[in-house]
Amino acid sequence: MARKKPVKRKTLIKKLDKIVGDYIKLRDSHRCVQCGSVDKPSWGHVFSRRSYSTRWDLENGFCQCWSCNFKHSHDNYEYYKWFQNRFGPERFESLRKKYISSVKYTNPDLEDLYKEMVIKYKTLEDSIY
């Protein structure tokens, strides 16, 4: 019997980005949480996606229109203010602490996280439709 070829890390990250982005847009009804627009919905991170500690954290991501997401990438103030007004400064600081912490995912960790997100997505989808 032939052994399955291991999935490349880059592929796992792309798959995980896709399912989490789809989940967030569905959760937020494909509507920008800041301005309410449904034009070009995207997945905006409160804290940068470069940190794996919060990259796929559902508390760190919200649906944003392309325009708000673009503005946020150059000036975080309005998005930070929106988050703190909605969830409070304590939750903001808690998320920030998580963001600055270091997390290293192995490929099996990423595969497990992907499987968990697929289940969460299907559950959300079933509850909406």
Do residues 38 and 32 touch, judged by C-beta distance below 8 A?
A: yes
Distance CA 128, CA 42 (A): 19
pLDDT at residue 6, rounded to an integer: 73
Hey, where are the domains in the chain?
22-101
Which pair of structure tokens corresponds to residue 53? 């500690």
Predicted pLDDT at 73 = 85
Distance CA 78, CA 27 (A): 21
Pair 34, 82: CB distance under 8 Å: yes
Residue 129: its pLDDT value, please? 78
Q: Can you list the residues of the chain whose pLDDT is less than 50? A: none
Distance (Å, whole) CA 54 – CA 51: 6
Residue 7 is predicted with a pLDDT of 77
Integer-rounded Cα radius of gyration of the chain: 16
